[in-house]
Amino acid sequence: MYESLGTIALTITILTIFLTLFINRKNPFRVFSSLKNNKHVFLPLGFLATILIVNKLELRLESLLTNQSDFSSFFYSYEHMILADIQSTFRHPLLTEITTFFYIIMFVTLIAISLVTYLLGEDWKLLYTFLYAISLNYIIAIPFYLFFPVTEAWYSHPQVEFLIPAVYPGFESQYRNISGLNNCFPSLHNSISLTLLLISSKSTNKLFKSLFTISVPIIMFSTIYLGIHWLTDMAAGILLAVIATWSAQRVTSRSITREKRKEIAIARR
């Protein structure tokens, strides 16, 4: 599963297809016909794709910046031994396996399942909210990554150990290319996971909601247990999720109202 980014991507794809079939009882490849039914969705989809490209460029730009400050020492000054105590209290090989799986595999799988499920159900309101909310998470977080760098807890905290390599030995040489070492504050793993949970709670699909209710708390716990994020990162991620979801809901309501007005105007011609 963790042999390479390719095997990770394959695992995520298979898991997404399986869970989509189980949750929705529909062929996941029907999303393409759903896209044909609503051309308006391409705008928020394109917007999100652009933001993801900008995020990738941020990692390259960051590597060009020199003499950057590291604010992790400030977090350590008041969090001190809390992270180390949490890790030592719960540490177990099986828990490390489970949390690594949820941190790397399930996190991306939940994003994919959200997109596919909202498209299959043609739930345009939740789909738009999902697309705008994920975009806003990145838009708000990227400036912090550039100008308020915070290195991962294990790198700065002498008593916190990075546990992922015990399960995924190639993490630093493979996955690190898409996950900056000092892109900790706010935690996107926490903010996006909670965003997905908040949006999924509006769905009428009980299995779909249950998946997020179970998975998201594990992902959020994994960010601390695995030695990656500070508690301050998590708190900022939670706040970011609330802001992004609320803002996306407002933008979506306005977008849908505008689309309906256009449709009515066209019908009257």
Q: What is the pLDDT of residues 190-206, one digit of tens each?
A: 999 999 999 999 999 99
Q: How many CB atoms lie within 10 A of CB 91?
A: 12
**DSSP summary character for residue 50:** H
Percentage of residues of the chain with pLDDT beyond 90: 70
Phi, psi at 76, each rounded to 5°: -65, -30
The predicted structure's pLDDT at residue 268: 61
Of residues 9 and 262, more confidently modeled: 9
Tell me how far apart the terminal alpha carbons of the chain are, to the nearest angstrom: 57
Distance separating alpha carbons of residues 181 and 151, to the nearest angstrom: 6
Whether 155 contacts 72, CB under 8 Å: yes
Quote the number of domains for the chain: 1
Q: Is 39 exposed, middle or buried (0-12, 13-18, 19+ CB in 10 A)?
A: exposed
**Domain span holding position 151:** 5-268
Distance separating alpha carbons of residues 63 and 170, to the nearest angstrom: 21
Residues 6+ apart with CB under 8 A from 3: 170
Cα 171 from chain centroid (whole Å): 18
Residue 175 has pLDDT above 80, yes or no: yes
C-alpha gyration radius of the chain: 20
The predicted structure's pLDDT at residue 194: 98
Q: Range with the lowest mean pLDDT among 51-65, 147-161, 194-208?
A: 51-65
Q: pLDDT averaged over the chain? A: 91
Residue 125 has pLDDT above 80, yes or no: yes
Chain segment 232-253, per-residue pLDDT in tens: 999 999 999 999 999 999 999 9
The predicted structure's pLDDT at residue 139: 94
The predicted structure's pLDDT at residue 36: 80
Residue 66 has pLDDT above 70, yes or no: no
Residues 6+ apart with CB under 8 A from 11: 1, 105
